[in-house]
A and B are shown apart, each in its own frame.
Chain A
Amino acid sequence: MTLPSAYTPAPERRFNAGDRVRVKPSFPPGHRRTPFYIRGKSGVIERVCGSFPNPEELAYGFSGEPKRVLYRVRFAQKDVWPDYGGSQRDRIEMEIYEHWLEAI
């Protein structure tokens, strides 16, 4: 019996864990799962989650194919908020789709 996994394969991926990336500083209308506050910020790929149908298409009744690669990206809080009041070692992590990421 194959047990289900949290992850799916993503052999076609551009990035791997440890790669430095920047979130596109882009602000289009429509259904996006990239929060406003992280646009334009830089971080590191924490893990590859897999490939999934694109939620930006699913939201409007389309198939979301071809699938897009999803990553967990780790950011230093001090890099996200100019006035961050916590520790320099505090982090924020979230999932970002490959088409929202640029290599740096």
Chain B
Amino acid sequence: MTHAHPQAQDDGPVSQYEILSRAMQELLEEKGVISAEQVRRRMELFDEEFPYRGSRVIAHAWADPAFKKRLLEDGKRACAEFGIDLEADRLIAVENTPEVHNVIVCTLCSCYPRALLGMPPTWYKSENYRRRVVREPRAVLKEFGTLIPEQVSVRVHDSNADMRYVVVPMRPAGSEGWSEEELAKIITRDSLVGVAVPKA
């Protein structure tokens, strides 16, 4: 049986894990457990849809204080209200204030609100981030170029069970009167995980 599957698309020698992954996928397709179309559709969602949602939601929260309040009470519900289906993700939004800076990690694996932010960056999944950010968050944030003053308390969230987290950064000075579209442009993925802050 021939497969209409693309050949290796990455540069360099083929990893044995790529071959293993393709082999498992094809066996499962042959056995009718999944379809190639389903996998293709998931790839599309991860590439074209999920990564763009987070900044839109937070921009809307910045523009609409009542929505922000609802987002902080129940992240999943507020996103649904905004037309975003987070699938299985149970979102909790945590707010940065002049007194508190939040940062997210999953020390046990790499849980991340994928349906809101797309795939986590490689540093988030790295062993060094998972080892150190819970124990010395300020030093790790400094490695990202983010300095938190002593009088601001740092709050680390270890996303270790059923909930997923997003940081609502503080809206920077100089962004007054901006449209939600303009606001979304400065809300970086890194600021939604808490290793950076948006700049106007």
| A residues whose Cβ falls under 8 Å from a Cβ of B | 3-7, 33-35, 37, 49, 52, 55, 70, 72, 77, 81, 84-87, 89-97
Residue with the highest number of chain B CB atoms closer than 10 Å, among A4, A7, A55, A85? A4
Q: Is the CB of A5 within 8 A of B76?
A: yes
Other than the given A5-B74, A85-B138, 4 more pairs (CB < 8 A) read A86-B137, A93-B157, A94-B157, A95-B162
Interface string of B46-82 (1 = CB under 8 A from A): 0000000000000000000000000000111100110
**Alpha-carbon distance A98/B154, docked complex (angstroms):** 26
Q: Is the CB of B160 within 8 A of A49?
A: no
**Contact check: which of A6, A35, A84 meets B160 at CB < 8 Å?**
A35
Please judge, given known A-B contacts A7-B90, A34-B160, whether A92 and B77 are in contact too, CB under 8 Å: no
- Could you list some 13 contacts between A and B, CB below 8 A? A3-B77, A6-B163, A34-B160, A35-B108, A37-B134, A49-B162, A87-B153, A90-B155, A91-B154, A92-B134, A92-B156, A92-B158, A94-B161
Residues of B within 8 A of A93 (CB): 155-158
